[in-house]
Amino acid sequence: MTISTTTHLNFRGTARQALDFYATVFGGRTVISTYGDLGMPKEVPGADKVVFGQVENEDGFRVMAYDIPGQDNTDIAVTAGSTRRENGVTITDRTFFQSVRADTLDEITGYWSALAEGGTVIEPLAASAWTPGFGMLTDRFGVAWVLDVQAPYAD
């Protein structure tokens, strides 16, 4: 039996923009269905919002997203105030971080650079005691990301 998990991100009117952005970062195919596509009258406010969205690439990256009904706050600026470094410790009230792990520092650096554009760095991408590259940031959509290089397992 095989099992896999997919992070499902909840947005307030910016799911389409976030999915398009993640497709540029990770590559792959974007699939989007709106509330209007699934039966809501097209003239009703919110019919153009995402009810099901997904980005998936050939390397196994997959993320899903939708717009929370009635929560269109596209004019509200996204801040990273709920995750920060304080005295060497990461303080957060987030219920999850999206994690991306790659085999090489070059690969993770490419993802890092793209996700950091317009975002806020929490912990800069740098070598740590367990990996040649680890960092945390909040992207321009308010999603907190942990990126690292796969550390070799001890025998």
Examine the pLDDT at 26 and tell me if it is beyond 60.
Answer: yes
| pLDDT, the chain, mean | 85
Examine the pLDDT at 77 and tell me if it is beyond 50.
Answer: no
Examine the pLDDT at 39 and tell me if it is beyond 50.
Answer: yes
Query: Looking at residue 91, what is its pLDDT?
Result: 66
User: Is the domain defined by 7-67 classed in CATH 3.30.420?
Assistant: no
Query: What is the Cα–Cα distance from 28 to 75, expressed in whole angstroms?
Result: 28
Please tell me what DSSP assigns to residue 7. Answer: E
Higher pLDDT, 129 or 42: 42
- C-alpha distances out from residue 60 to 12, 29, 101, Å: 26, 12, 11
The letter for the amino acid at 98 is Q
Query: Looking at residue 99, what is its pLDDT?
Result: 87
Query: What is the Cα–Cα distance from 84 to 97, expressed in whole angstroms?
Result: 13
CATH architecture of 83-149: 2-Layer Sandwich (3.30)
| pLDDT tens readout for residues 78-125 | 444 567 777 666 666 665 789 898 999 999 999 999 999 999 999 999
One fold for 7-67 and 83-149: yes
The model's confidence at residue 59, banded by pLDDT at 50, 70 and 90, is: very high
CA 147, 68, 58, 155 dihedral sign is positive
